[in-house]
Amino acid sequence: MSVYRRPLLQAWEAAYTAELTLDQLRRRAATVGAALAGQRARCLIAFDTRFLANLLAQTLAHDLAAQGVTVVLADAPAPLPAIHHALDRKQADCALYVSARNRPYYMGGLILIADEKSGLRIHPTSDPLPPVAFPPLTPPQTTVDLRAPYLDALRNMIDLDAIRRLPMTFFIDAMAGTTAGMVTALLGEGGQTRAIEINRDPDPLFARGAPQPFEATLTRLRKLVRESDSHLGLALSGDGTSLAVVDPAGEVLDPFEVSLLLAGHLAAHHRQRGVVLAPPPAPQNPLRLQPKHLAAWEDATGLKLEVVSDGLHLERQPLVAMTATGEVALSRWSGCPDGLLAGLLLCEAVSRSNGGLRALCAALRAQFSA
């Protein structure tokens, strides 16, 4: 069983104009629509911040509605965790996500998301499609807000008051992605904490890169964190599933360290227990993975640590699972990797530590370097 409790049944990604065309996108969606119409399934159609994604989503909504599918269209770009949250709340039976997730700017795609037990059977088709006006001549009659319910859920998961009551500063790099505005909406009101967001304006080309924090230099974020002596920097991937953490010295923490910091906080302050799946430390990381270090950490936290190359696709539901690219899943809260949730939990951990992130990192490194 995957940590993706609701797996991505199909994921198609291609370069614009080379393989990804409106005709190709409509044809793939029509295949899904034919299966959904026969099963009277409701389909949520969502999109990210990529080039034309909102207009492509509107077009697919018109097509599926014409096939007899009950369609729910998102009203704004949505991160992948918000889509899973909407499906958890039974707003639809499945979702089509117009996105290439965290691939480079010249890519686009379409993702089908549904429960493993949904019974959907999708088969390719080459049937001709009717003409279409692009973008649609008439806007959709109804849309649904995915962000607000997702933010409400995060408010129930995180002790935001513990973060707000201290005079701390956090920088957040939204990478022109779907989480833009979310951290500031959660932390920016009624408290002493300052949440400063960068790269929040829409940029369908993602500065001609990939909205993936471990494929970017994060130069601006690192400089701001270092020179302002702030407490923490967070970079969130375009689809909201991946996270990079910048310490007060302006250095990007290894995902191995981030996964252990998260797990330690969940054990100490949320009394959670379970297996932690962490990626191997980067070659330049000074932490030494000797059996005595692993045993000492497990004794101190009451958790079990396994170092694996891919922590998101094993047949278990770990407490924390993280990949080398920053995808992080917290299975006690969500069946989808959620970088925003993980980032807020780290903010919570920093607020509860007298020495902040520096002290947390120093204590962790001491355990693995003795």
pLDDT tens readout for residues 151-209: 999 999 999 999 999 899 999 999 999 999 999 999 876 788 999 999 999 899 998 88
DSSP string covering 182-232: HHHHHHSSSSS-EEEEES-S--TTGGGS-S-GGGS--HHHHHHHHHHT-SE
Same-domain status, 272 and 238: yes
Last-in-domain residue among 146, 169, 189 = 146
190 and 281 inside one domain: yes
Residue 151 lies in a domain: no
- The pLDDT value recorded for residue 270 is 92
User: Of 89, 120, 146, which closes a domain?
Assistant: 146
1 confidence band (pLDDT: 50, 70, 90): very low
Is there a single domain that holds both residue 110 and residue 195?
Answer: no
Both 101 and 191 in one domain: the answer is no
Domain harbouring 248, CATH code: 3.40.120.10
Give SS3 for 166.
coil
In a domain, 3, yes or no: no
Instruction: Give the separation between CA 197 and CA 170, rounded to whole angstroms.
Output: 8
Tell whether omega for the bond before 131 is within 30 degrees of 0, i.e. cis.
no
pLDDT at 255 exceeding the cut of 80:
yes
- Look at 83-92, 170-179, 253-262, 352-361 and tell me which has the smallest mean pLDDT: 352-361
Whether pLDDT at 5 is above 80: no
Instruction: Pick the range with the lowest mean pLDDT from 268-282, 308-322, 332-346.
Output: 308-322
**202 in a domain, yes or no?**
yes
44 and 181 in a single domain? The answer is no
Residue located via tokens 């979310």: 182
Of 173, 351, 325, nearest in space to 246 by CA: 173
Do 32 and 162 share a domain, yes or no?
no
What is the chain's mean pLDDT, rounded? 89
Closest CA to 224 of 187, 198, 243: 198
Domain residues for 208? 158-367
Are 214 and 66 found together in one domain?
A: no
Do 115 and 16 share a structural domain? yes
Same domain, yes or no: 68 and 109:
yes
In a domain, 349, yes or no: yes
pTM of the model: 0.89
Question: Residue 311: which residues within 8 A CB-CB, separation 6 or more?
Answer: 3, 259, 277, 278, 279, 318, 321, 322, 323, 329
Q: Which residues contact 293 (CB under 8 A, 6 or more apart)?
A: 287, 367, 368, 370
Tens digits of residue pLDDT in 90-125: 999 999 999 999 999 989 999 999 877 666 676 656
